[in-house]
Amino acid sequence: MTIKKLLFGTAFLLGAAGTAQAQYTKDVLLFSQGDNGGTARFKAMGNASTALGGDISSITGNPAGLGYFNQSDISVTGRYLNNKNKTDYFGQNSNSSKNNFNLDNAGIVFHLPTYRNGGNLERGWLNFNVGIAYNRNYVYNNLLEYKGVNNTSSIADAYSDRLSAPGGMSGWGQEVYNNSLLFDEETGNKGSYFPITDFDNFNGKDGFNQVNSILEKGSKSESVLSFGANYSNKLYLGAALGFTAFTYDNSSWFTEYGRTMTSESLAKRNPGSDFLKPEAAYAKKREMLDKDYELYDDYAQATDGTGVDFKLGVIYKFTPTFSMGFTAKSPTFMSIRDESYSNSEFRYFKTGEDKTFKDPYRTSDDAGHSYLEYNMNTPYKLSLGASQVFSRGLITADVEWVDYAAMRFKDAGAYNKTLEQEMNQNIKNTYQGALNARIGGEVLFNNVFSGRAGFNYSGNPYKDVDYTNYTASLGIGAKLGRGMYIDLTGAYNSIKYEERPYLIDEQYWNNTSPVANIKNQRTNVVLTIGSKF
């Protein structure tokens, strides 16, 4: 099943409150995404770190792992990201990609042992360590493009749905209807509108040439202060306080090329149409028939936000080599500012001519401007892990529960309770809880070099959407002497999903909204350099 309630990609927001809600419904998940981040070593092991410690990643993963440190540590991690998309839209394949370099993680752990003169240093509270880290846990940089000949619908169908909705002919709707000259009112059915686009008559093809381009920029990062303690080398406890900040920019361009109806085809569809009337008052409408057109739907969004969350963790060693861990992470309580602009432009051409015969019409800036401040809570997370250490390596695994249906939206100004209620209902109707699984291992080749591998599967957050998300990783590490170390990891992330560039009233049109099949491939190369002191 495909997405029915979400609008991905181009955001057809032109005054349509219901579609704007779809955009916010999509955003609450987007701004909830992100991993624990950390070093190349733990990334190579699939980020399965709930039952492991002694790594800078423990600051943002399971803070109880800080209790493993018996000396201080500092490291810096950089990342190269290649973000590639393969798409299929009505049988036409397209590729697009975008690269990015960034500082992925930087952290320091201060080892603070408890000294007791003459006491037993193997039992009781042995240390209270402190960790501070910066982590970039999601990079939004992405370029997505798909195109093809849509033989099922026109984006103008979605426009006419908006015009026909209650209140659709006020503001933006009245402006588009009067000035674009692409829509007609059904005779004998006042208030019902349809586009005069011709499905069967554009460049000898059945359908509409469509191109959708989406450029995303920005990132989400967190600064974390963590505490970890070691009790008798058996019980490890930890707590972390995180401060999140993000910026997100989205620019979308949807273009459709088509042809308007001939007078004959319009007469069959709507014999009482104003476009067919011979009076001089309707001359401008008559000349729009049997013409080529270009329709541009542009959208720009700029969003930023900040938030705070906390995490509690525990690791218990049942034997010197086998341990289990648990973390509970609160929702991130975020404050968000969102500003968006959307415009539509209509151009018309005579057959075989490149120059428009009519001045292009573009909707006014005020009609497509939206500003909203709101609060949201990301989902809480519960993780359980186990690890087994061997003489020359280890294996570790995690399972994590994330309740996406528990995300909450709140209008910061409390001015629009209806939007708030409908948004939260949309979230419940769209999302569900998901189980994530991670597994990884490490092999010590000798006293200097080690190899790692991992696999990470993310569960489906959607109730009614086909969606797969997995990551496979390989890495190598080396101890350089005098406490120095270096780790290198390559991670391949693949996400398959379906996207609808716009939504139509499927019952009215007796048709489905168009679907693009997308495979997003993220290749990460991560390098960590650190030193124990």
- pLDDT tens digits, one per residue of 391-425: 999 999 999 999 999 999 888 776 667 778 888 88
Count of Cβ atoms closer than 10 Å to residue 278 Cβ: 7
Say what percent of the chain tops pLDDT 70. Answer: 92
Say if CB 231 and CB 126 are below 8 A apart: yes
Say if CB 87 and CB 145 are below 8 A apart: yes
Is 468 within the bounds of a domain? Answer: yes
pLDDT of residue 197: 92
pLDDT of residue 5: 28
Q: Give the span between the Cα atoms of 55 and 396, in whole angstroms.
A: 14
Phi-psi region of 232 (alpha: psi -120 to 50; beta: other; left: phi over 0): left
Tokens standing for residue 496: 């398959």
Counting the structural domains of the chain, the total is 1
Range of 17-31, 200-214, 318-332, 493-507 with top mean pLDDT: 318-332
Q: Give the span between the Cα atoms of 380 and 137, in whole angstroms.
A: 16
Average pLDDT, rounded, for the chain? 88
Is 107 within the bounds of a domain? Answer: yes
Say if CB 195 and CB 159 are below 8 A apart: yes
Is 359 within the bounds of a domain? Answer: no
* HEC string for 388-405: EEECCEEEEEEEEEEEHH
pLDDT of residue 19: 47
Tokens standing for residue 29: 């998940």
pLDDT of residue 367: 66
| Bridge partners of residue 76, in order along the sequence | 106, 529
What CATH number does the domain containing 135 carry?
2.40.160.60
pLDDT of residue 15: 36
pLDDT of residue 14: 36
Is 177 within the bounds of a domain? Answer: no
pLDDT of residue 4: 26
Is 220 within the bounds of a domain? Answer: yes
Residues 93-145: pLDDT tens digits? 999 999 989 899 999 999 999 876 556 667 889 999 999 999 998 889 999 99
Dihedral (C-alpha) 413, 415, 420, 421: value to the nearest 10 degrees?
Answer: 140
pLDDT of residue 220 exceeding 90, the answer is yes
Instruction: Report which of 30, 367, 27 is spatially closest to residue 168, judged by C-alpha positions.
Output: 367
Burial of 97 (C-beta count, 10 Å sphere; 0-12/13-18/19+)? middle
Range with the poorest average pLDDT among 118-132, 192-206, 362-376, 415-429:
192-206
Mean pLDDT across 430-448: 94
pLDDT of residue 17 exceeding 50, the answer is no
Residues 471-514: pLDDT tens digits? 999 999 999 988 999 999 999 999 998 888 998 999 888 888 99
Q: Give the span between the Cα atoms of 425 and 25, in whole angstroms.
A: 10
Is 453 within the bounds of a domain? Answer: yes
Residues 441-456: pLDDT tens digits? 999 999 999 999 999 9
Say what percent of the chain tops pLDDT 90. Answer: 65
User: pTM of the full predicted structure?
Assistant: 0.84
Is 153 within the bounds of a domain? Answer: no
Tokens standing for residue 429: 């109707």
Helices (H), 149-274: 155-164, 172-180, 263-269
Instruction: Report which of 423, 451, 421 is spatially closest to residue 27, judged by C-alpha positions.
Output: 423
pLDDT of residue 417: 74
pLDDT of residue 528 exceeding 90, the answer is yes
Is 190 within the bounds of a domain? Answer: no
Say if CB 242 and CB 311 are below 8 A apart: yes
Give the three-class secondary structure for 432. coil
CA angle at 104 for the pair 99 and 106, rounded to the nearest 5°: 155
506 phi, psi to nearest 5 deg:
-65, -30
More reliable by pLDDT, 106 or 207: 106
pLDDT of residue 420: 83
pLDDT band at 37 (very low <50, low <70, confident <90, very high): confident
Give the three-class secondary structure for 114. coil
pLDDT of residue 495: 92
Q: Are strands 333-349 and 292-317 parallel, antiparallel or unpaired?
A: antiparallel
Count of Cβ atoms closer than 10 Å to residue 469 Cβ: 18
Dihedral (C-alpha) 500, 504, 506, 508: value to the nearest 10 degrees?
Answer: -170
pLDDT band at 343 (very low <50, low <70, confident <90, very high): confident
User: Which residue type occupies 203?
Assistant: N
- Name the residue range of residue 92's domain: 17-148+195-248+304-337+380-532
